[in-house]
Amino acid sequence: MNTLASTTPAAPAASAAPRAQARRGAPARWLALALETHISLPLFALCLLGAMWFGTLHVIEAERRAAAAAARDATHELLDTYEAQMARSLSNIDQTLRVLKYAVEQNGPAGALPALAAKGLLPPGLVFQVEITDSHGRVVASNPDVGPRDLAGASYFEFHRHSRHDQAYVSQAITHPGAAEPHLHFTRRIDDAAGRFAGVAVVAVDPAYFTSSYERSRQGERGLLGLVGNDGVVRALRVGEQVSWGQSYTPGPTDMVGLRACRIDGETRYTSSRPLGGFPLLAVAGLSESEQMARFRQQRRAWLLGAGAGSALLVAVVILVSAWSWQLAKARRRERQAHETYAAASEASPDAFFVLRSIMDPRGRVADFTIVTTNSRAEQLTGLGKEQLAGQRMSVMLPGAFSAGIFADLAAVALSGVTHETEWLARALPQGERWLYRQAVAVEGGVVVIVRDITERKLAEGRIRHLAHHDDLTGLPNRSLLRERLEQAIGAAASDGGAVGLAFIDLDGFKLVNDALGHNAGDALLKVVGARMARCLGAGDTLARFGGDEFVILLPALAGEPASIAPLLERVRQAVTEPVLVEGQEVQVSCSIGVTFYPRDGVDANALMMHADVAMYRAKELGNDNVQFYASEMNASIDEKLVLLEGLRDALDTCAADHAGPCQFELLYQPKVDLRTGRLFGVEALIRWRHPEQGQVSPERFIGLAEESGLIVPIGEWVLRTACAQSVAWRAAGLPPVSMSVNVSARQFEDKRLVERVADALRASGLPPEGLEVEVTESLIMRDLGRSVDKMRELKAMGVSLSIDDFGTGYSSLSALKSFPISRLKIDKSFVADLADRADDQAIALAVISLGHKLNLRVIAEGVETEQQRDFLRANDCDEMQGYLFSRPLPAQALARLLADSHGGAA
């Protein structure tokens, strides 16, 4: 018990001893570190720099205060001198005024000046101009003689006439009629014997006289000298060589020198002012701060340069000495750190390290390796501790390395000395199957092996490869992977004599869904349709998204006749046409499919893709929702389109203003008539193309091609300009004015410059905006309702009328229709054709007429060819019509005759 009691306290004491020793050793280590030259020398230099700059800045500040004090003293001295000069000058002027006043009282106004001249009391006329006025302000005497003059309106005359005090007055610089320069007028009141106002004694002085004492050697180029009235208006002011007067000037406190910016010229000066006794004036003097402090600033620059140069020299010396000291200290530490580097690096590294020593057999080959050491990451990888591995043979502890071929690679590195890197999939690990990277580096007597887990990188690479070859939206193979698989299938079919099928699929009506419901709905539809088509295919087939709403099916290793795949394609077509619920709304699309086969239709990927595309377009031309197998004659249709497109470009060139030949395009004009009165009130411009080789080309053949190629925009601009010019020509010929209607295609309406092009056409032709009507289709407006309405409103604001063509085919809602800034609805001819026989077409026509009238719109029916159609429309209050019943589209000359006849009949 006694032994236990005596030994128990020893344990805490023993454990506390190292901690106390560590605490005592810490200050010593910090002190030793601080005494290192590369640390202590910069600290000492920093203190020295601080002292140097503190002294420099202190001296600069002392010199600045001294320079400022000297400038203030100089300003005060200048004001003393100037005030004394002005006091003498003003006293002489005032004495002259008093003498004048006395002479008038003794000798009368006319004899005063001669009397003074006789006594030599008149001031010199070159500097001072003396005048005496009577009580009415007329000058009765002057020296030099200025002749008769009326000063009744002068400020000083008014002052003395209304003031009975004998008080001197100083005017602002005034230029009297007949005088060459402005003068300051010093005046006193003259009274007669009865004390009544009898006139004014005046001494006029050039303002420059009061600043003639300005000395550039003393006051510099920007000094200030002058007189300021108590009213704050400058009487005379000189800055350098410039004399001025009349400005507003607010002096500071009198007899106090202040540093402030002058509002007259913006110069900062030391200024002071002092009142001048006997006159309502202040003497003002000032010295430019920049000139007065120039010498100080030069000295300050010299001090700063000197201090900067000394600092730079000191810093350079300290850097050199510290760098040399640091290199020595680093060399001393390098040996100590070298022993710690391997352990720290290996433990902190995410890689597993194995240091292996070679065990050689008698024939000089590597028989095995001894594991010298490992790190913690190697423990986690193998599931064995470092103590278990150290000193053991590799064949005993890691037998899997022999079966996996790892030992052979390590032995080759140990013998050749060439570093080897590789990746492999390790399956027999405690963590399960992992991808590993191995780097083996030869060292003396063995190898160092670095092993890194790259499973995450491999998975990421797999995801990247998948993204690179698959569509992001549908997850289907993309164009790149399709081409790769197609080329592989062609190669396999070429070697075994098989066939390959390729189907190009384009969705019909997808753009309408995408435009009407938005891109999110379009994306959802593409995913559903893609999944449906994929379920129709076999395991070896490929469905790829080619782009947009286009898909491609690859059918490799086909056997039998090409027609054998028709049932599969029919299943695909039916799967596409099934309704799809998108964002709560049921939509339905169909597809057009073009099919080609290797080797029948092409022997390479490009040929097969091109021919499948041609077949798909043939399916489109045949009305969509069908399957077409490629045939060689389809290329003839493509070639015909290319030829027609080239001819369309040439035709557009022939209609250019600078082209010498005839224009291949022609406008025909179909009349529009009022159903009630039969009056021809407007025409619709219709383009026709006379090809130099093919003759008359139907608009159905070239309008769609122009729309696809974008040529419809310049063609439409030609139509617009030609139609406007023709309308103006009819008016100029004395024909009754009619409304000119011009159709605008989808590409034209989407053109950002549409409104500008319409304005240009009206301006170039001189047609008033109300004479033009722009027809747009209902489906065109519904593509982008908001933007379409904005553009229509711009045209409406211009004065152009708008009508909706083919109304009833675009599925616009009533809420959208009421926002359209239109004036006319046109009933589509598809509803007019069977109007006399079909009740549903009659119901649609009646609905459109009623709707148009409810919205205060005119309703016109197009394609009226029979009297029954006309009678039905007239009986049901349709406003207007156009069609073959009244007239076919006519050339401009024929239409002019029709206008003349209708005008004559009306007359």
Query: pLDDT tens across 601-613, in order?
Result: 889 999 899 999 9
Length of the chain measured in residues: 907
pLDDT for res 704 = 77
User: Which residue intervals of 447-503 are DSSP H helices?
Assistant: 455-469, 479-496
Report CA Rg, the chain: 54
CB distance 745 to 716 below 8 Å: yes
Backbone angles phi, psi at 67, to 5 degrees: -65, -40
57-101, pLDDT tens digit by residue? 999 999 999 999 998 999 999 989 988 899 898 988 989 999 998
Is-cis flag, bond preceding 253, omega within 30? no
pLDDT for res 3 = 36
| CA pair distance 605, 542, nearest whole angstrom | 15
The residues that bridge with 599 in the sheet, in sequence order, are: none
| CA pair distance 341, 229, nearest whole angstrom | 88
* Closest C-alpha among 397, 398, 354, 389 to residue 375: 354
CB distance 132 to 142 below 8 Å: yes
106 confidence band (pLDDT: 50, 70, 90): confident
Helix/strand/coil (H, E, C) string of 69-82?
HHHHHHHHHHHHHH
Tell me the one-letter amino acid at 341: T
| DSSP code, position 562 | G
| CA pair distance 890, 683, nearest whole angstrom | 10
336-377, pLDDT tens digit by residue? 665 556 666 666 677 887 899 999 988 888 889 998 888 888
130 confidence band (pLDDT: 50, 70, 90): very high
Name 697's Cβ contacts closer than 8 Å, sequence gap at least 6.
644, 689, 690, 691
pLDDT for res 689 = 92
For residue 172 the two structure tokens come to 């602002």
641-666, pLDDT tens digit by residue? 777 888 888 888 888 766 667 899 99
User: Which residue intervals of 206-255 are DSSP H helices?
Assistant: 216-219
Instruction: Give me the DSSP letters along 571-631.
Output: HHHHHHHS-EEETTEEE--EEEEEEEEETTS-SSHHHHHHHHHHHHHHHHHTTSS-EEE--
CB distance 614 to 631 below 8 Å: no
In the predicted structure, residue 165 carries a pLDDT above the cut 50: yes
In the predicted structure, residue 535 carries a pLDDT above the cut 90: yes
Mean of pLDDT values over 423-437:
78
pTM over 0.85: no
pLDDT for res 796 = 93
Backbone angles phi, psi at 810, to 5 degrees: -105, -5
In the predicted structure, residue 15 carries a pLDDT above the cut 50: no
- What does the mean pLDDT of the chain come to? 85
In the predicted structure, residue 206 carries a pLDDT above the cut 80: yes
Q: Pairing between strand 352-360 and 446-453?
A: antiparallel
578 confidence band (pLDDT: 50, 70, 90): very high
Phi-psi region of 671 (alpha: psi -120 to 50; beta: other; left: phi over 0): beta
Mean of pLDDT values over 220-225:
90
* Closest C-alpha among 840, 859, 841 to residue 850: 859
For residue 416 the two structure tokens come to 């050749």
Percent of the chain with pLDDT over 70: 91
In the predicted structure, residue 483 carries a pLDDT above the cut 90: yes
Query: Between residues 467 and 310, which one has the greater pLDDT?
Result: 310
* Closest C-alpha among 659, 468, 702, 507 to residue 587: 507
pLDDT for res 33 = 63
| CA pair distance 521, 531, nearest whole angstrom | 16
CB distance 844 to 809 below 8 Å: no
In the predicted structure, residue 681 carries a pLDDT above the cut 90: yes
In the predicted structure, residue 264 carries a pLDDT above the cut 80: yes
Name 298's Cβ contacts closer than 8 Å, sequence gap at least 6.
none
Asked which of 93-102, 377-386, 481-490, 823-832 is least confident by mean pLDDT, the reply is 377-386
In the predicted structure, residue 10 carries a pLDDT above the cut 50: no
314-342, pLDDT tens digit by residue? 899 889 888 888 888 787 777 666 555 66
Distances (CA, A) of 552 to 424, 506, 558, 629: 37, 9, 16, 14
In the predicted structure, residue 906 carries a pLDDT above the cut 80: no
Mean of pLDDT values over 620-638:
81
| CA pair distance 121, 651, nearest whole angstrom | 106
pLDDT for res 9 = 41
pLDDT for res 907 = 38
Q: For residue 117, how many C-alpha atoms fall within 13 Å in the half-sphere facing its CB? A: 12
Instruction: Give me the DSSP letters along 744-783.
Output: --HHHHH-TTHHHHHHHHHHHHT--GGGEEEEEEHHHHTT
20 confidence band (pLDDT: 50, 70, 90): low
Percent of the chain with pLDDT over 90: 37
Q: For residue 375, how many C-alpha atoms fall within 13 Å in the half-sphere facing its CB? A: 20
Sign (positive or negative) of CA dihedral 898, 902, 904, 905: positive
pLDDT for res 702 = 86
